[in-house]
Amino acid sequence: MTMTSEPATAPVVQAPAGAQRVFAAGAAADHEAHLRAFGPLPKRDPGALLDQLEASGLTGRGGAGFPAWRKLAATGEAAAQRRRRGAPILIANGSEGEPLSWKDEVLLQNAPHLVIDGMLTAARTLGARNVLLYAGSGSLAAVERAIGERADARGIEVVEAEDGFIAGEASSVVNAIENDDPRPMDRTVRLAESGLRGRPTLVHNVETMAHLGLIARFGGAWFRSVGAPEDLGTRLITVSGDIPRTGVFEVATDATLASVLQAAGLQQGSAAAALIGGYHGAWVPAVSFGTPLTPSGLEPFGAQPGAGIVHVLSDQRCGLRATADIVEYLAGQTARQCGPCMFGLPTLATRFTALARGQDAEQSAAELRRISGLIVGRGACHHPDGTVRLIRSALDVFARDVRAHAHGRCTRRP
Amino acid sequence: MSGSTGTHALHIDWTRCDGRGLCTEILERALTRDDWGYPVATRGLPERRTDAPLREDELDDAEEAVRLCPLAALRVTRVAAPTAPRAGRRVR
């Protein structure tokens, strides 16, 4: 289940079996190890690739979970309809502004060639002339080394990602590359129609690209041979928090939260809850750890598989305190562009911190609900919406703690 | 979407809006103000309030609000007919 699985040694290249796929070439795989494990990248014609991608059921691995083929097809259609806007642009997004996620960095450091394969495949399918890889500073060396190892990747332009929580949002990425301004943009048309330099732009997460690199070889039917029917294949998960073995795991999409936590060495009964989806995510209480990490399994908690983030809260720690720290962080990450976010988030942070400290707990909880309802859906990006999702989830899952704090106690301290 | 035509909306560019409030005076049924003076759509799904639904008889007022906004933060947009609106952003 860990990323360091044994490299395939068979002389004939076979598709990876089971749920260990993207790291099948081993740790820090160079081009030779990559080809040994996966074989050469076939050049499928665009229509055939789109068919395979649709058949695969692959969804985006950056957080929103949109079907990967639909975004690719939409960008291709927009480009065909608006030829004078110029050739489409492809951007692989590896910026990962979320502090609780480092799966994209681990992926780029260990399997950069698979990401490159996916990018080249998507670019050919799209007819993209410009192909960019937007990557964090920790991945740059591995990415540059990989590109230098193969002639077909020379056209890929590597751009260093800006720091910051919202710098990974798709319009932030376009704004950063075009205007050196890593803030989200107001949008009335999709990036697929008018993105970077007004051209049809496809932004896909780097993990999505890696799966695409495998689908190009082994096909859609192979991809869907594991995972949940509603969201197929495997995904990378970053496990962190109060747990013995933090790190990046590749799991089938129907894996339960409990199985992931067990693989990471969690002692039964030692956790109070887990945050799923990161700082814009939602809490799942320990009693529900049997839930699969699928869209329908997580829906009752207001969570989504998202970018595959699992953060464990021990039963010694207060969920309200932990949430307050995150809300304070998120308030500090507002781009200060949109009023409801610029003023709303600090107000939410102040209120949540008061609640965590047991000051005006009841009024604070009521105000948190009211202000959450006020700011949701009112920004250029989803930073307010994600913050509200976390707050509402915490108030629900830690409702007992809210009542205890209102009476000057905390359930997590003796 | 109840009560609106579902064909036009007032798009608010939050990166420009400064909460001066002229639009909320002109379109007093479609918009109200939040704690900090920024416009809030009174109709439509909460998560879609960047595009405030407009009624047919509010279009002239909306055009005036667009013209008068000192920050040029408003625009009247056509919204696709409301095909089975869903509560979430989930695609399945």
Residues A339, B17: C-beta atoms closer than 8 Å: yes
- Bigger pLDDT: A76 or B34? B34
Q: What is the pTM of this model?
A: 0.90
Clarify whether residues A201 and A231 are in a common domain.
Answer: no
CATH of the domain at A207: 3.40.50.11540
Tell me what the mean pLDDT of segment A103-117 comes to: 98
Residues of B in contact with A379 (CB under 8 A): 14, 50
**What was the pLDDT predicted at B80?**
67
Identify whether A10 is part of a domain: no
Identify whether B91 is part of a domain: no
Identify whether B48 is part of a domain: yes
Clarify whether residues A122 and A198 are in a common domain.
Answer: yes
Please compute, for residue B83, the number of CA atoms within 13 A of its CA located in the half-sphere on the CB side.
1
The whole-angstrom separation of Cα A280 and Cα A101 is: 12
Clarify whether residues A135 and A186 are in a common domain.
Answer: yes
Clarify whether residues A126 and A192 are in a common domain.
Answer: yes
Q: What is the mean pLDDT of chain A?
A: 93
Q: How far is A216 from chain B (nearest CA, A)?
A: 24
Clarify whether residues A72 and A196 are in a common domain.
Answer: yes
Interface predicted TM-score (ipTM): 0.84
Residue pair A353/A368 in contact (Cβ under 8 Å)? The answer is: no
Identify whether B3 is part of a domain: no
Using one digit for the tens of pLDDT, what is the confidence trace for B64-80?
Answer: 999 999 999 999 998 76
- Look at chain A and report how many structural domains it folds into: 3
Identify whether A323 is part of a domain: yes
Tell me what the mean pLDDT of segment A25-31 comes to: 96
Nearest by CB: A340 against B14, B16, B48: B14
**What was the pLDDT predicted at A407?**
94
- Look at chain B and report how many structural domains it folds into: 1
Residues A377, B38: C-beta atoms closer than 8 Å: no
**What was the pLDDT predicted at B6?**
56
Domain that holds residue B68: 8-78
Apex A54 CA angle, A207 and A248, nearest 5: 20
**What was the pLDDT predicted at B76?**
96
The phi and psi torsions of A90 (rounded to 5 degrees) equal -115, 130
Clarify whether residues A163 and A191 are in a common domain.
Answer: yes
Helix (H) or strand (E) run with residue A215 in it: helix A206-223
Clarify whether residues A244 and A215 are in a common domain.
Answer: no
Q: Beta strand A227-228 with A231-232: parallel, antiparallel or unpaired?
A: antiparallel
Using one digit for the tens of pLDDT, what is the confidence trace for B3-52?
Answer: 444 589 999 999 999 999 999 999 999 999 999 999 999 999 999 999 99
CATH of the domain at B22: 3.30.70.20
Clarify whether residues A168 and A282 are in a common domain.
Answer: no
Clarify whether residues A308 and A327 are in a common domain.
Answer: no
Does A304 reach chain B within 8 Å, measured CB to CB?
yes
The phi and psi torsions of A315 (rounded to 5 degrees) equal -75, 0
pLDDT higher than threshold 60 for residue B84: no
Using one digit for the tens of pLDDT, what is the confidence trace for A138-182?
Answer: 999 999 999 999 999 999 999 999 888 888 888 888 888 888 888
Domain that holds residue A190: 31-223
**What residues have CB less than 8 Å from B15, skipping those under 6 apart?**
A183, A184, A185, A186, A337, A338, A380
Using one digit for the tens of pLDDT, what is the confidence trace for A364-407?
Answer: 999 999 999 999 999 999 999 999 999 999 999 999 999 999 99
Identify whether A376 is part of a domain: yes
Tell me what the mean pLDDT of segment A312-322 comes to: 96
SS3 A349: helix
Clarify whether residues A297 and A333 are in a common domain.
Answer: no
